[in-house]
Structure 1
């Protein structure tokens, strides 16, 4: 039997044994440019054995006011400290397969809103205890006759209204009040100007006054094109079309705003950052191998530091660092530390 020995390090003349996983970690990779330059943190979030602890990922990332990082996986929601240690878990059928999350500080605590595509509902639960306080099933009051309901994105208006996108089915976007009462819906499936071909991601764009919806039309395919040329769209909180923000983005999966900047993961294996004028100012983790982009099956032993494969969710912390999740069979979440100029 082959014996694996721990690595040896000499620090100030003292011989130390290092865990094998630590010895094998790759070096940090620098990516981006200008004010949006980042270094990867090799091994962030992995267990002491060097393996992913969260299982297959097809979800999102959010951060609470204390700086704890929440990421959703098929098994449920895992909570990390900024240094990559798991500090809490919300696991089981009620928390599984949360495709998108939004976190909100409210009068009675911090709450996470989730869109559960496989479970046909939106939910709201305490970020501290995991107690579920609201469920949003398909609203029969809408009068729609849908064969299935498959929510992919959720966000919350300043007044507490909840917006839930049925992105894997009808592509209608539903609006509820803070108590879950159905208010209205808008949008439909298609490749037209005001239609959605997979309204996959959505957030509140606080760069504008009043805030508006920023929607990822992931699979938008104009006439004459064979592959998606995903776009970002602006809508009012009342469902009125405002403008096409940007097109030709590949397959944008979600969007997160911090200050004047927006991070947009692309399922092809990259993340783009837009400035306040909606110009791309940085591209992170670009995967040059088209066979590795949009590929759920990249196992951990085949991950490449600084190269993404199925970029699905992202979130900024207060210092401008980014946490990025890949759609991935082994469960990949990465920390990118912003380089100070």
Structure 2
């Protein structure tokens, strides 16, 4: 495939994003058929042109994270101070928006607590973790863990994401600060910490992840190690169980869907090449990649994964994702020219 065609497809896609609001349904459908099908095997997807594109009254800056609530509403987190949280329906229509106080809005999780759902937001610039209602009321605010003696001031604490256990305990990943992982109970009491350089956690590493409770053993932390191009499996006490190398990647977050993990990569050569683009990997239970959505087909030689790369120019910098119950994938992108999220649907 020629470079000219790749650039043409990228231009076509960006044109769809910016002009979708002016297109009719028939024209959009015709344009979508011209876009590439992404992925391999049973994990192939087609973009939905213009999904989630809003007007100037609802701007975005960096789109960093998304979650879905029990009603199927899709929550987008952005660091634009006119509307930190944008709430969509599945068709990309605006339902609500709120938030003007999170200049470093970065990580977002939704948690079920008895009879309500709550959000956890990490803010890089305010050096805090916030727990809020779905409407934006702040319920809890965590500052830096001064008591552990690893931080000279709150400015060294730049939490990237939170990971949650069913009992209400949660872990805070200081992925932009000093790379420690702190465990809190549901009331925000610090229980334990590990990681950091002395704990084998390299800088620009623990960005996001998931707590895998699928068994058969104890729950484990699965950490997306961003610039390290790896995934780490840790016990809940921080002991390394396995490190999975993903050459040509930059894993930022993880979502478990049945027997598979979906992992967005910011780019294939980040941070060496800030113009490099990203893609999404699908891994099976053995941490073998079975599809790269928007990337090259996974290839193993003598059991060793070969370097991967983006392909087709569809994504810019995927930072998180949501795989909805109907199989659709919603992807917010960071450092991507103030673009709205994208939606992909399974190719049938």
* 1:132 equivalent in alignment to 2:138: yes
Give the Cα separation in 1 of the matches to 2:241 and 2:89.
Answer: 39
Match of 1:144 in 2: 150
- Where structure 2 has 5 or more consecutive residues not aligned to the other structure, the ranges are 1-19, 268-277, 297-308
Of the candidates 291, 314, 325, which is equivalent to residue 282 of structure 1?
291
**C-alpha distance 22-97 of structure 1, shift in aligned 2 (>3 A):** farther
Deviations 1:8-38 (A, max 9, x none): xxxxxxxxxx963448754253211222111
Match of 1:117 in 2: 124
- Where structure 1 has 5 or more consecutive residues not aligned to the other structure, the ranges are 1-17, 221-229, 288-292, 295-303
- Residue pair 1:246, 1:278 contacting (<8 A) in 2 also: no
Of the candidates 58, 62, 66, which is equivalent to residue 61 of structure 1?
66
Match of 2:100 in 1: 92
**C-alpha distance 53-39 of structure 1, shift in aligned 2 (>3 A):** farther
Of the candidates 276, 281, 289, which is equivalent to residue 272 of structure 1?
281
The TM-score, its normalising length taken from structure 1, stands at: 0.79
Shift of 1:154: 0.9
**Per the alignment, in what secondary structure is the counterpart of residue 138 of structure 1?**
coil
Q: Please list, as runs of the form range in 1=range in 2, the aligned pairs for 1:282-321 lying within 5 A after superposition.
A: 282-286=291-295, 307-321=314-328
- Residue pair 1:59, 1:97 contacting (<8 A) in 2 also: no
**Per the alignment, in what secondary structure is the counterpart of residue 319 of structure 1?**
coil
Match of 2:243 in 1: 244
Match of 2:257 in 1: 258
**Per the alignment, in what secondary structure is the counterpart of residue 219 of structure 1?**
helix
Shift of 1:158: 1.8
**C-alpha distance 52-324 of structure 1, shift in aligned 2 (>3 A):** farther
**C-alpha distance 70-305 of structure 1, shift in aligned 2 (>3 A):** farther
Cα root mean square deviation, aligned = 2.6
**Per the alignment, in what secondary structure is the counterpart of residue 237 of structure 1?**
coil
- Residue pair 1:46, 1:53 contacting (<8 A) in 2 also: no
**C-alpha distance 120-46 of structure 1, shift in aligned 2 (>3 A):** same
Match of 1:207 in 2: 214
Shift of 1:43: 0.2
Match of 2:234 in 1: 235
Match of 1:178 in 2: 186
- Residue pair 1:142, 1:182 contacting (<8 A) in 2 also: no
**C-alpha distance 174-45 of structure 1, shift in aligned 2 (>3 A):** same
- Residue pair 1:206, 1:257 contacting (<8 A) in 2 also: no
Deviations 1:281-318 (A, max 9, x none): 1111239xxxxx99xxxxxxxxx997101111111111
Q: Please list, as runs of the form range in 1=range in 2, the aligned pairs for 1:65-80 lying within 5 A after superposition.
A: 65-75=70-80, 76-80=84-88
**By percentage of residues, which structure has more helix?**
2
* 1:103 equivalent in alignment to 2:110: yes
How many pairs align? 294
Deviations 1:185-233 (A, max 9, x none): 111148xx9322321112222333432111111122xxxxxxxxx1000
**C-alpha distance 336-306 of structure 1, shift in aligned 2 (>3 A):** farther
Match of 2:53 in 1: 46
Match of 2:333 in 1: 326
**By percentage of residues, which structure has more strand?**
1
**C-alpha distance 53-141 of structure 1, shift in aligned 2 (>3 A):** same
**C-alpha distance 236-39 of structure 1, shift in aligned 2 (>3 A):** same
Give the Cα separation in 1 of the matches to 2:65 and 2:44.
Answer: 22
